[in-house]
Chains A and B, each alone.
Chain A
Amino acid sequence: MIKRKISLALQHVFLMTASFISIFPVFWMIIAATNKSVDITRGTLVPGGYFLENIKAVLGSDLQYTNAFQNSLLIAVVTTALAMIVSSAAGYAFVVYRSKTRDRVFHIIFVSMMVPFAALLVPLFRLFSKFNSLGPLKLIGLNTVASVIIIGIATAFLIFFFRQNAKSFPKELIEAARIDGLGEFSIFFRIFMPTNKAVYAAATVVTFMSSWNNYMWPLIALQSPEKRTLPVVMAAMGSSYTPDYGMIMTAVLIATIPTALIFFLMQKQFVAGMTGSVKG
């Protein structure tokens, strides 16, 4: 009994240490955002009264933070919305309309999950720069937000994710809808989508977060200052030789709020959805 109590106490010590280490950098970011740079380097841990000043510095920076925030938001929202339709339609169809050919197509798509993005960098850069001189395709060429959106719409991960979850969708529901005279598209949009809200919620969290945090491709594809996204602008602020920590941490804090909100609002569905796709 005593042995068990000691073991439990040790576990609490371990978990508290882990929690402290996990929380501290985030806590420090918030403290730093409210303080002057000099106070931060002195090691202060009390909230200061400099938050508004820091915000002004962020908004007034010649790195066009507000612009970057809008670009990031536009890219993340549009990518997520389109991905939820395009990738989920494919994942759904691979299950509901199973055939040998389509199974083979799925396996090929699945392999693309292992392709490292760095390997695509060279050809993608050249492909998109070609688009710039190809008439209407210049709408998705380099230096357009569309060039970032378009490569995030269909991903092997999302298709796999929706396919795993569509497996547990009852076939009887589809049959019944067909007898009622519903077309194939209506079945997908009006029956599958509304009955799988939790799955879509989890996929939304994942897609929005990865789009919001995407750094490498926007860094390369969006070269002109007014097209940049938040991670690119934050990185530029962070690499300054004379860092204004208060301003930088305020910029980081503002950029973290949307993903933190989305995650904590949808925490339950996220965990449930992720689990379903690993087990299947």
Chain B
Amino acid sequence: MRKREMSPKRNRRAWVFIIPSVILIFTFVFYPMIQALITSFQAGTGNNLEFTGLSNYKRLLGDATFKKALSNTLLYLVVQVPIMILLALAISSMLNNKKLKFKGFYRTAIFLPCVTSLVAYSIIFKSLFAADGFVNVVLMKINLISEPIAWVTHPIWAKVLVIIAITWRWVGYNMVFYLSGLQGIDDSIYEAADIDGAGPLQKFKSITLPMLRPIILFTTINSTIGTLQLFDESMNITNGGPANATITISHYIYNVLFKYSPDFGYAAAISYVIVVMIVLLSFIQMKVGDSND
């Protein structure tokens, strides 16, 4: 097609469509980003800030709570994201089977958690897993345990609980993406594999996984960004406790800002750790996702 120059009038019209969004995103994302970077080199209480160079970043190195928040967040990332994605993949490839009955029921049931808000499901899980909550009552009735498990107040069980809760909320969400990706794969490929005598695992490995790679990449990056920003769950299931055993980085930023006397500079420095991690991890995942051809 021949390329034509756009008339100046139409060019101006085009900017009218775009400018409102540009102004909003620059004011409420990019300007604050730059501000945060500057603030991260300042220290002081409240709005009385002075430049102190790298002092905030040095403070991070010796901050035990920050280290806990960082290792918790990374633990959630390394343990929860793979479990969730494998579960979602397994469920969606089973649901893709034409001969399977009750498909609609399974799909709707497994997606159901996604209609609950993050705060809502956090509260549901906190109540279900409370010391006198339903889960403990049942486990004790069937004599699996003799005394209640301290889901919320034991450092390890609390982490397990957060991971169970997040997995519950997001498997169905990821499943939807994989299901729509699977619908794009031609049935004849699977039929040809059947004739060649390929088993279900082999078909999954050699057909499903490679065909779904772009979507898996998309969901992995999305989940990584989401996990690095975990806040609602940490606040509302365990309140970061016991003794910061489940606190996330975002939750720690909130505490630095609003729980103690506000330390803007230090909070900004912590937040830049998340920025760097998201950029690095997304970059690595994109490289890995593209290079397997």
Residues of A within 8 A of B (CB): 7-8, 11-12, 14-16, 18-19, 21-23, 25-26, 28-29, 32, 40-43, 86-87, 89-90, 92-94, 96-97, 99, 102, 105, 108-109, 112, 114-127, 150-151, 153-156, 159, 184-185, 188, 209, 212-213, 215-216, 220, 230-231, 234-235, 237-239, 243, 245, 248-249, 252, 255-256, 259-260, 263-264, 271, 274-275, 278-279
Taking the closest CB of chain B, its distance from the CB of A257, in whole angstroms, is 9
Q: Does B29 contact A (CB under 8 A)?
A: yes
- On whether A234 and B120 interact (CB within 8 A), knowing A22-B109, A118-B274, the answer reads yes
- Please tell me which stretch of B59-67, B74-82, B98-106 contacts chain A, meaning at least 4 of its Cβ atoms lie within 8 angstroms of it: B98-106
Q: B20 touching A90 by the CB < 8 A rule?
A: yes
- On whether A120 and B33 interact (CB within 8 A), knowing A11-B100, A252-B123, the answer reads yes
List which B202-238 residues lie within 8 A (CB) of chain A.
214-215, 218, 225, 228-229, 231-232, 235-236
Set of chain B residues within 8 Å of A274, measured between Cβ atoms:
176-177, 180
Q: Does B272 contact A (CB under 8 A)?
A: yes
Q: A252 touching B124 by the CB < 8 A rule?
A: yes
Quick one: CB contact mask for B163-188 with A, threshold 8 Å, 1 for yes? 00000100110001100110010000
Query: Please, how many angstroms separate the alpha-carbon atoms of A90 and B14 in the complex?
Result: 9
Q: A231 touching B117 by the CB < 8 A rule?
A: yes
Residues of B within 8 A of A (CB): 6, 10-11, 13-14, 17-18, 20-22, 24-25, 27-33, 35-36, 39, 47, 87, 90-91, 94-95, 97, 99-102, 105-106, 109-128, 130, 132-134, 137-138, 141, 168, 171-172, 176-177, 180-181, 184, 200, 214-215, 218, 225, 228-229, 231-232, 235-236, 239, 249-250, 253-254, 257-258, 264, 267-268, 271-272, 274-275, 278-279, 282
Set of chain B residues within 8 Å of A231, measured between Cβ atoms:
117-120, 232
**Central interface residue in B14, B116, B117, B122, by most chain A CB within 10 Å:** B117
Q: B267 touching A122 by the CB < 8 A rule?
A: yes
Set of chain B residues within 8 Å of A18, measured between Cβ atoms:
87, 91, 106, 109-110, 171
Residue ID in chain A nearest B268 by CB atoms:
A122
Q: A278 touching B21 by the CB < 8 A rule?
A: no
- On whether A238 and B126 interact (CB within 8 A), knowing A22-B172, A118-B249, the answer reads yes
Set of chain B residues within 8 Å of A126, measured between Cβ atoms:
35, 47, 264
Query: Please, how many angstroms separate the alpha-carbon atoms of A119 and B109 in the complex?
Result: 35
Set of chain A residues within 8 Å of B95, measured between Cβ atoms:
15
